[in-house]
Structure 1
């Protein structure tokens, strides 16, 4: 569980360290601004930046029922962040599985990515796409069962 939060924790710690350093140098405003920047980075690198994650079994059941894609991701993944933010509000239409939180989700990704935990991986209609094109996924979320 801690592994999901390690990057966010490091960002908060760096922000506090920078704040203390700036306070010691007599620059409290600069320190406060830098702390806010580090806190924003901590949020982006945390699981909070993503829609609520579900376990792989729940996501697969829901996807079979509503036709929406399942997106396998992990906190701190640059490509997952790019995908998440490029989708905007449409991201809520997908079922998100954090592979660091759900071992079954990690197993699904390894099965389709040649033994690697390459994310983001999207499964839609039984077809898996590793590192999907963002425009393609947006279109899938806008259309049909999504």
Structure 2
């Protein structure tokens, strides 16, 4: 679990140190904006920005019954954040699997990407697609609806 929250905690810590330096340097009011910016970056990097992750086995079971794609992701991945933000509310319709919390999911991603844990990897009808265009993912959701 520490691995998942490490990057967001680092952002908050850096923001606090930076804001403290500004506050002690004589500009306490100006220290608020950078601290808030660091906290927002931490929120984007955290698992909170994504729908609740489920295990790979559960995602595959659900996908088999409803036909929705599975997204393998990890915290701190800018491409995963891009996909999540560009999908908007539709992202909740996908099955999200955090590869840092599920070793089977990480193995699935490595098998699809020549041994690399490249994310996001989207599984549609048991076919992996690495870092697909968000519009393409939206189109896949429309086909399953």
TM class by shorter chain equals over 0.9
Tell me how many residue pairs correspond in the alignment: 145
Report runs of 4+ in structure 1 exceeding 6 Å deviation.
none
The 5-angstrom pairing of residues 35-74 of structure 1 reads 35-74=35-74
Unaligned 5+ runs, structure 2: none
Task: Note the C-alpha offset of 1:144.
Answer: 3.2
Q: Distance in 2 between matches of 1:131 and 1:40?
A: 24
Deviations 1:60-118 (A, max 9, x none): 00000110000000000111111111100000000000001111100110111111101
Q: Distance in 2 between matches of 1:74 and 1:50?
A: 10
Q: Distance in 2 between matches of 1:44 and 1:73?
A: 14
Task: Note the C-alpha offset of 1:43.
Answer: 0.3
Q: Secondary structure at the match of 1:139?
A: helix
Q: Distance in 2 between matches of 1:53 and 1:121?
A: 14
**What is the aligned partner in structure 1 of residue 144 from structure 2?**
145
Q: Distance in 2 between matches of 1:100 and 1:126?
A: 21
**What is the aligned partner in structure 2 of residue 14 from structure 1?**
14
Give the TM-score normalised by structure 1: 0.96
Q: Distance in 2 between matches of 1:144 and 1:137?
A: 10
**What is the aligned partner in structure 1 of residue 109 from structure 2?**
109
Q: Distance in 2 between matches of 1:23 and 1:133?
A: 43
Q: Secondary structure at the match of 2:136?
A: helix
Unaligned 5+ runs, structure 1: none
